[in-house]
Amino acid sequence: MSTGAGTPPASSAPSILGFRDAAAEQATESRFLAVPESKLAEEHLRILTKAPHMAGTIEDKATADYVAQKFRAAGLDTEIVEYKVWMNYPAEISVDLVAPAGVEMHGPTREHVDHDPYQDDPRVVVPFSGMSPSGDVEADVVYANYGSPEDFEKLEKLKVDVRGKIVLVRYGENFRGVKVFVAQEHGAAGVIIYSDPADSGWRRGDKYPEGPWRPDTGVERGSVGYMFEFPGDPTTPGVSSLPSLPDSQRIPPQQSAQLPKIPVTPLSYHDAWPVLLHLGGPDSPREWQGALPFTYHVGPGPAKLKMHLRQDYQFRTLWDVIGRVPGSDLPDEWVVAGNHRDAWVYGAVDPNSGTAAMLEAVHGIGDLLKAGWKPKRTVIFASWDGEEEGLIGSTEWVEQHEAGLANAAAYFNMDVAVSGSKFGASAVPSLKQFLRDITKVIPSPKGGTVYEAWQKAAQVDATQAPGEVIGENHRLPAVQVKGDVPVGDLGSGSDYTAFLQHMGVPSTDVSSSGSYYGVYHSVFDNFAWFKKFGDPEFVYVQQMARVFGMEAVRMADADVLPYDYDEYGKEVVAYLDAAGKRAEDKFGNHVLDFAAVNAAARRFEAAGTRILVKQKSPPQDPARLNQALRGAERALLAPQGLPHRPWFRHVIYAPGEYTGYAAVVIPGVNEALDRGDSERARQQLAALAAALERAAKTLEGYR
């Protein structure tokens, strides 16, 4: 019996896109929606977070066994898939302030607050950076704000040379691996990343345990691998499509483009405080000033640090849990829904709020199976491992199953399911309306539907500053072409990456967010924090279980795939309009010719509009129509991939080379404009036009 979030409302919609018999589908969905329970979700989270469970540990394997048990109990055909991957644990990590004389700092200081029941477990790993090399560096410190390319340009204008220095940067604004990549490009000898109270501490609100924000000793762990080059195991570059199996061909780690060349480690603002306090040199640009109570300077020196990092790199075992429900009519068309399970420490919010929600979605699927439901398409639920180190478990599985994924209908992702009460989503444009429609039939703990709560929040956001972000996963504003609630664009930073950007599988990502960044990737992201500040009654976990499971049920049952290429085409046209204006600003008029790509985009848009009409009256035999719909997204893959990043093949969406997580739209073109490279821009405009022509032709192929 459902608890905590009300009775699912009856749908008032006379039809559901892609269904001939909407009433039958509504009956199935109503049965599913009644099953997920808040109390069971709470029990899942308590069990999953009772011990730290970093990827590859015995505690991580215990969580895999628990998830597999629940999958099997629901009736899923379940297996645990093992991969051997190259990754590090910390052996010795120390950072010492060695100058000026008489000032001491020996980091990292143990994370500690009063009255937290989880912080003293001896299995809590010392804060470290995944994928950092070992190294010993002693050098003067330079402060570089967030470590963006623009920040390093400002240092150059200030005549501050970072070569051979230890660069101190703060978390926020961009992916931590990008900070390291840019510092490495500029000749730094090492990098320290700290959390400033302006971004996630007392400037934002009360510190944990009184409030949700970062306490003085809290440290954000995280991978600094160059996932914008390629994700997955660093020794099996995805361009070769070789999953990390025992007999896989591998490259030497030192040759991997994914691994940084300079040592990196994180610190708390408690430990960064004396370093920043004793920097000389020019005052930092005023927008670089954080919340510590003194004027920030950029250095170099007189503060000098000694970094000693000894990383324990080995080939370690990861465990993906895969549960299947075979399709009755279209078993070769997969609907995949996934959440990662591994955590830097306890991971109550990131990611196990999502695991708990997924298990309750699977609980609902199990109830449908017992009642005789048989999905048309094969449904696969996946509990990924090694996401935190570099999207490893999902990437290796995708590379292993490229042939099976060639006909996949969708991938649905849920990482941080719940850190608060504000629903949000990102998706490829073809699935944005699908997501909106799903939320119209799911009850919100706030009353009404999730869609109605989403609308109200969007209206507030339109008049106020942007809401919270989770970690560094900043999303660009969505292009609004239908005047509805905003659905963001997919960049990277979670497990949809391999499905969308390598394989062209239409994907979504959903979450319910709040004031969480203060404990992100720290020991304090634990059950106690979640119960106090995240979702005390687990009603939002229940909500997300319903959203996530409904995505899978509806996509699996659809007669015609419920994609919206009309919205997709309009968004691409808007992206090109913006890029055209950027090109004029960068190079002047008539240097780049957008005529061919604009024509291709409008052909794609027109084809999307026409086929949407046909989708609204599903034919008795929809096989050819579905083939065209599936093929259009795949047609947007460039066989040669993006410049210098061949693993990323999608011409419309990719993580940015210098953002890491945030989506860059039409990336080949926009990144060429960023670099001021007109010849590369011409080549990428041609590649984009060719992809859009392929996609349009694919949609036009159904008459």
- Residues recognised as catalytic: 387
**Strand 410-413 relative to strand 507-513: parallel, antiparallel, unpaired?**
parallel
> Cα Rg for the chain, rounded, in angstroms?
25
CB 382 within 8 A of CB 81: no
Query: Tokens 């900043």 sit at which residue?
Result: 474
Residue 423 pairs in a beta bridge with 512
Cα–Cα distance for residue pair 573/384, rounded to 1 Å: 35
Residue 369 pairs in a beta bridge with none
Cα–Cα distance for residue pair 576/114, rounded to 1 Å: 53
Amino acid present at 498? A
Cα–Cα distance for residue pair 539/7, rounded to 1 Å: 12
CA dist list (Å): 656 to 243, 476, 590, 672: 24, 11, 26, 12
Task: Please name which of 388, 366, 288 lies closest in space to residue 358, comparing C-alpha atoms.
Answer: 366
Cα–Cα distance for residue pair 416/469, rounded to 1 Å: 11
- List Cβ<8 Å contacts ≥24 apart for 311-315: 311/88, 311/89, 311/90, 311/91, 311/128, 311/132, 311/133, 311/134, 312/88, 312/89, 312/90, 312/91, 313/86, 313/87, 313/88, 313/253, 314/86, 314/87, 314/88, 314/89, 315/84, 315/85, 315/86
| Residue 252 burial (10 A CB sphere; 0-12, 13-18, 19+) | exposed
| Residue 114 burial (10 A CB sphere; 0-12, 13-18, 19+) | exposed
For 168, the token pair is 């101190």
Three-state secondary structure of 1-45: CCCCCCCCCCCCCCCCCCCCCHHHHHHHHHHHHCCCCHHHHHHHH
Amino acid present at 377? R
DSSP 491: -
The gap from C-alpha 497 to its chain's centroid, in whole angstroms, comes to: 8
Cα–Cα distance for residue pair 463/129, rounded to 1 Å: 38
Cα–Cα distance for residue pair 328/326, rounded to 1 Å: 6
For 362, the token pair is 């699977």
CB 440 within 8 A of CB 449: yes
Tell me the backbone φ, ψ of residue 456, rounded to 5 degrees: -60, -45
Q: Which letter, b or e, does each residue of 564-591 get, where b requires 16 or more Cβ atoms within 10 Å of its Cβ?
A: bbbbbbbbbbebbeebeebbeebeeeee
Task: Please name which of 247, 224, 392 lies closest in space to residue 311, comparing C-alpha atoms.
Answer: 224
Cα–Cα distance for residue pair 496/406, rounded to 1 Å: 15
Task: Please name which of 286, 127, 256 lies closest in space to residue 192, comparing C-alpha atoms.
Answer: 127
For 667, the token pair is 């990336």
Cα–Cα distance for residue pair 574/550, rounded to 1 Å: 30
Task: Please name which of 492, 650, 496, 490 lies closest in space to residue 176, comparing C-alpha atoms.
Answer: 492
